[in-house]
Amino acid sequence: MHAYMHSVKHNYTTMPEPLRCTGSIISSELRSSRAMIFAIEEINNSTELLPGIKLGYQIYDTCASVPVAVHVAFQVSSSLDTVFYTRDNCSHSGMVMGVVGESGSTPSISISRIIGSFNIAQVSHFATCACLSDKQQYPTFFRTIPSDQFQADALAKLVKHFGWTWIGAVRSDSDYGNNGMASFLDAAHKEGICVEYSESFYRTHPRSRIQRVADVIRRSTAMVVVAFTAPGDLKILLEELSLKPSPPRQWIGSEAWVTDQDMLRFSFCAGAIGFAIEKSVIPGLRDFLLDLSPSKVAASPVLTEFWEDTFNCRLRKSAATDKSVCDGTEDIQMIQTPYTDTSQLRITNMVYKAVYAIAHAIHNAVCQETNFTTQCDKFTKTEPKEVLTQLKKVSFSQNGYDVSFDANGDPVAKYELVNWQKSESGSIELVTVGHYDASLPAGQEFSINRKLTWVEGGTQVPVSVCTDSCPPGTRKVLQKGKPICCYDCKPCPEGEISNVTDSPDCFPCPKEFWPNAVRDTCLPKPVEFLSFSEVLGIILAAFSVGGACLTVITTAVFYHHRKSPIVRANNSELSFLLLFSLTLCFLCPLTFIGPPSEWSCMLRHTAFGITFVLCMSCVLGKTIVVLMAFKATLPGSNVMKWFGPPQQRMTVVFFTFIQVLICTIWLVLSPPFPMKNLTTYKKRIILECALGSAIGFWAVLGYIGLLAVFCFVLAVLARKLPDNFNEAKLITFSMLIFCAVWITFIPAYVSSPGKFTVAVEIFAILASSFGLILCIFAPKCFIILFKPEKNTKKHLMKNNQS
């Protein structure tokens, strides 16, 4: 009934004063005690529950104090004091069957430890400490209000639901606050919620302690404050916070204070949300509460004190006060107090259900159902242990509300989510905005069915985080020495992405994918190859076709002048074969352009190798012809009969066959094949032809190089032979260019990346081909077309004759 116990300093020389309470009456607790009387009178008037048996009662005021609660517990447990009024027709007046209460967890713990030894059942309506579910320590304790363990889990899920990961916490320094907050912090940790501070205080602590807690709240960066406190404790803290301007805070409340009508006067807490016991209706209770006749008020010291506090008067004249005198006839219906307000019956219904639970247990212990009638033996002595046994089994419905207990003595946990909202008149009122039912499957317990109002009347959910969420494309890096909710957002490393908010890690893209610019998704890498549609491919293809056309034109010129001395001077058959091979050499680069395929990869290298060997064989044959022709001019020499046209053809075929054999072995054992090069570039894929066998590739090139060096050596030896048109000089220059190109090609080919490797190879093919056609055939075409006077046998032999 009162919040404080009168404190006395003991001198240990005289008997201490009797324990007594101080402070004003707590209207809601008075209403609960009157609800208990109302329930007992309903039961006593019932013809179905305990017919013929009357229940008696005694109500004690514990002053929310452990010493007073312990004193009451000993009174209940022993028969030293008469607990109940004695009636003549009572078989065992004074025997306690059960205890309803206490409102607080700490006094309930003290009471339970004492009366539990006597197997006296205790049913609390408001003690929510999870510790009381321990049947090893509190075997006779039951409650009609859910354990704080359920509330703590619900609060943690509520905080997580709104995305608050950085919160402050305050609690009563009592069993209720400490155990409740411990359960909440454990549940919050599992939900990934960080706590900036956790402060405890109690209403009897010095003001300096309360001020320190208030300053912590003011200085904190957490917008959300979770308070697991008793109403009397939080009231002192909020009064301290109201003395100085404080940053707006979003309050999250436990059942103990969030539905307390007295707390609604703190307007700066508007927008507070929390879980509350389901609102209920008890028919007839309001009329019973208002039925306070002057005689009832005068007969009860508690009602007298309540009446005087409510009307600010004195029922008796007193010289010590200037208050007016009242007589108990004042109209209490005109006064708005928590006592008369039955619109929010929550805890009061828990008292109502607790009384009925004990009554049903007694009923099951002493009554039997026979022939549709109930017979109760009121003269048989009933032990408290029997009532305790029956209380574990009770299951009934009263006014539509189910009552039962689990193995821990706890009921099914059901809550309403309430929100402090400002009404049109400016006052704060409790509004139910959702529900929580712990009996539902995981993930379905929590529901919100109405719009909430937040701190300072806001409609947007406030933000309470240590660090803003890391967007996709970044990862969280914890700040040293701070909770896990405080972190820096670091961009994902190259080649890795994160596609969710607040990702702890980045993960690499698949091999053929690469992150976009934001690094929140993997995109297919662009595929790169030397294409006919790009500038470089167009240029190389144009030179390739142009070279082939130039060769065809040269062939046409030679064919048109095939009987002229300059064409016939050095085996015209080899010249035409050389022009044919050069045409193929010019066309080879076209197989290197475009997306590689299995056939194109095999064709490009083998065609290139064979055509170039054919070309080198022709050049080699022409060089040998020059040397043999000079030797044939010497007296007595018939060397030309050993290297005539048939031998020249066989030479070309032989050298070419060797290259064909090399290429065949290469293609059979380990042919080139198309592949995706993922290593040269990180951000794109190079489509290229793998060599298959590097030995085969370099054997083909080596053989071409060997023939080129051989030609070059022979051409150098023949360059000074007497002839007005010595073809050996032209071959020397062409081989010099050819060798220079391919010697340069090797380091360029090895070091060029991606499609440029192909471009280098094409360039080498075109450069060497142009070198051959320009050095060998351009001078001849010039004479044929522009200097026809030199295209005579006389002119060609002029130098020899001189």
Q: Give DSSP secondary structure letters for 755-789.
A: HHHHHHHHHHHHHHHHHHIIIIIHHHHHHHHH-GG
How many CA atoms are closer than 13 Å to the CA of 49, on its beta-carbon side? Answer: 20
Cα separations in angstroms, 414 against 103, 186, 275, 442, 583: 19, 21, 9, 14, 92
Q: Can you give the pLDDT at residue 238?
A: 95
Closest C-alpha to 194, from 218, 169, 212: 169
Q: Can you give the pLDDT at residue 550?
A: 92
What 3-state DSSP class applies to 53?
coil
Q: What is the mean pLDDT of residues 439-467?
A: 89
Residues of the chain with pLDDT > 70, as a percent, come to: 92
In this model, does residue 84 exceed pLDDT 80? no
Q: Can you give the pLDDT at residue 185?
A: 95
What 3-state DSSP class applies to 437?
strand
Q: Can you give the pLDDT at residue 629?
A: 63
Q: Can you give the pLDDT at residue 632?
A: 54
Q: pLDDT tens-digit profile of 323-332?
A: 788 888 888 8
> Residue 11: CB partners within 8 Å, gap ≥ 6?
none
User: In this predicted model, which residue has the larger pLDDT, 739 or 640?
Assistant: 739
Residues of the chain with pLDDT > 90, as a percent, come to: 38
CA distance 48 to 409: 25
Q: Can you give the pLDDT at residue 418?
A: 94
Q: Can you give the pLDDT at residue 802?
A: 41
Per-residue pLDDT band at 640 (split at 50, 70, 90): low
Q: Can you give the pLDDT at residue 23?
A: 82
Per-residue pLDDT band at 4 (split at 50, 70, 90): confident
pTM greater than 0.75: no
Q: Can you give the pLDDT at residue 186?
A: 94
In this model, does residue 93 exceed pLDDT 60? no
Q: Can you give the pLDDT at residue 760?
A: 87
- When mean pLDDT is compared across 80-94, 255-269, 732-746, the lowest value belongs to 80-94
Per-residue pLDDT band at 638 (split at 50, 70, 90): low
What 3-state DSSP class applies to 515?
strand
In this model, does residue 752 exceed pLDDT 80? no
Q: Can you give the pLDDT at residue 518?
A: 92
Closest C-alpha to 679, from 688, 671, 692: 688
Q: Can you give the pLDDT at residue 85?
A: 42
Report the number of secondary-structure helices (H) and strands (E) in the chain: 24, 28
Let me know: does 160 contact 480? Beta carbons within 8 Å.
no
Q: pLDDT tens-digit profile of 672-690?
A: 888 888 888 888 888 888 8
Specify burial of residue 790 (Cβ count, 10 A radius: 0-12, 13-18, 19+).
Answer: middle
Q: pLDDT tens-digit profile of 572-581?
A: 778 888 888 8
- When mean pLDDT is compared across 3-7, 23-27, 285-289, 409-413, the lowest value belongs to 3-7
Q: Can you give the pLDDT at residue 38?
A: 96
Q: Can you give the pLDDT at residue 514?
A: 92
Let me know: does 382 contact 362? Beta carbons within 8 Å.
yes
Q: Give DSSP secondary structure letters for 320-349.
A: T--PEE--S-S-GGG---TTT--TTBSHHH
Average pLDDT, rounded, for the chain: 86
Q: Which of 24-33, 597-606, 745-754 holds the top average pLDDT? A: 24-33
Per-residue pLDDT band at 643 (split at 50, 70, 90): low
What is the DSSP secondary structure assignment for residue 64, as one 8-state letter?
Answer: T
Let me know: does 230 contact 257? Beta carbons within 8 Å.
yes
Q: pLDDT tens-digit profile of 138-165?
A: 999 999 999 999 999 999 999 999 989 9
CA distance 603 to 608: 8
In this model, does residue 92 exceed pLDDT 60? no
Q: pLDDT tens-digit profile of 504-544?
A: 899 999 988 999 999 999 999 998 888 888 898 899 999 99
- The first and second tokens of residue 166, run together, are 């950085």
Residues linked to residue 487 through DSSP beta bridges, in sequence order:
478
CA distance 738 to 612: 11
